[in-house]
Chains A and B, each alone.
Chain A
Amino acid sequence: MRLEMGHIYIKDIQFAAESKIEDGILYVSEEAVKAVALEDEKIKSVSFDIAKPGESVRITPVKDVIEPRVKVEGRGGIFPGVIAKVDTVGEGKTYALKGMAVVTAGKIVGFQEGIIDMTGPGADYTPFSKTLNLVMVCEPVDGIKPHDYEKAVRFAGFRVAVYLGELARELTPDETKVYETCTIKEGMEKYPDLPRVAYVQMLQSQGLLHDTYVYGVDAKKIVPTILSPTEVMDGAIVSGNCVSACDKNPTYVHLNNPVVHDMFEQHGKTINFVCQIITNENVYLADKQRSSDWTAKLCKMLDLDGVIVSQEGFGNPDTDLIMNCKKIEAEGVKTVIITDEYAGRDGKSQSLADSDPAADAVVTGGNANQVIILPKLDKVIGTLDYVTKIAGASEETLREDGSLEVELQVLTGATNETGFNKLSAR
């Protein structure tokens, strides 16, 4: 599959009477985006705000972060099976608005939402302090159930992102990159001497608002399968997660998965990037066994030499990670696993819930329990009402001077397990 990605750099976002992109400035009609968000009757009201890097702004509780994109050539549309009709994506031409994001926030969906600080020490730890953020705060109708609210906010974010992406349809990209993978046979003929490497991506699928969707299918209902790595660039995988903010993959990360991009960088040079294998992290042991069996089976059938495995979340998915690692290694396929750590505030506890000698090549996204003080900022988009309740906070979080004592866990993307952030350890 061959996908041409056109990058349109956004230098500023401003509210205006008419939505358009001109000279790298995204003008947003507040009225128009509100109408797009309110298409769902489960959302009572929505307010939009703009947060720019360096501003004294705290966004919380953050649900998802999304990059606007538009499909200009080829099959399907952005977010197939979710916003666009089901069709196989990942070929043709797609434009992305770079340097900006749509951030969905709201009262609270689960108790595991995040914080994005646009300045100060918190900004150093969240990758989304560097993007121009169009933040939408959604209020649900009264009496709504949490899972309906989650779905309404999730879809509203995608609709707004697609609306903004459409503004770029007729533009000329500032930069174009081409991503191309071979079929199995082509790859063997073209790169006979290069190691055959795939990316095994574990998707958060524990249920109870810890969910990911693949072409609109709830990932806990999939069995492991293979994708062309360009499919995710068109939104084949989206987040429906209300799980610890630091190491869940917002939709933005799925669209811009660094493992996919780095492997493409090496494709044809040091490796033959064969495909992306997706699997899940379910809460039944039989599911964990079946999924890790199948992942290892696919690695074997594809005659791989090595894989990179990325985890999402922590706790019992540590077992899925280790089961994948052990079983894939047992097939004679080398593994490198990417995870993060919950090693306690002093860093002295066991980092993962499970381990095995086969996991001898590990990359970490950092210790999520590390404590950080976030100073009081001038403006809050959303509400601080739940700031003592989110995972990584406590009753003592809010201090007298208005600063917050929290674990890195609260910061969206802080210990991301695809390498989307800069934190790691040696």
Chain B
Amino acid sequence: MVKEVERAGIPVVHICTVTPISMTVGANRIVPAIAIPHPLGNPALDKDEEKEIRRKIVEKALDALTTEVDGQTIFD
């Protein structure tokens, strides 16, 4: 899906836990997620802490979307 959407001329950020797979499939902008069972959150944290990490991931993804890249890039 990442590749097809980009083929249509729209930049994509792939938020995923297993970044090596994202590299293999050819995503250009990759933002690491938390863990496979809970990519965008962490049930071990309380709600405020969790909201904070969720916001950080989304903001990082938005930044990545507007950043020029020269080849596949992981935004750690």
**Contact residues of A with B, CB < 8 Å?**
206-208, 283-285, 288, 316, 318-319, 322-323, 353-356
Contact = CB atoms under 8 A, between A and B. Distances in A.
Interface of B: 17-21, 24, 32, 34-37
B37 A285 contact: no
B20 A283 contact: no
A196 B39 CA distance: 40
Contact of A206 (B21, B24, B32, B36): B36
A329 to B, nearest CB: 15
Contacts of A356: 24
- Taking chain B's interface residues, is the majority helix, strand, or loop, or is none over half, making it mixed? loop
| Chain A residues touching B, majority SS | loop
Contacts of A288: 18, 20
Contacts of B21: 316, 318-319, 353-354
A356 B24 CA distance: 8
Nearest to A285: B17
Contacts of A284: 17, 34-36
A319 B18 contact: yes
B5 to A, nearest CB: 19
B18 A322 contact: no
Given A207-B37, A283-B37, A285-B18, A354 B32 contact: no
A283 B17 contact: yes
Contacts of A207: 37
A285 B32 contact: yes
24 contacts: A206-B37, A208-B37, A283-B17, A283-B35, A283-B36, A284-B17, A284-B34, A284-B36, A285-B18, A285-B19, A316-B17, A316-B21, A316-B36, A318-B21, A319-B18, A319-B20, A319-B21, A322-B20, A323-B20, A353-B21, A354-B18, A354-B21, A355-B24, A356-B24
Contacts of A323: 20
A219 to B, nearest CB: 16
A316 B21 CA distance: 9
Of A207, A208, A283, A353, the most chain B CB neighbours within 10 A belong to A283
Contacts of B18: 285, 288, 316, 319, 354
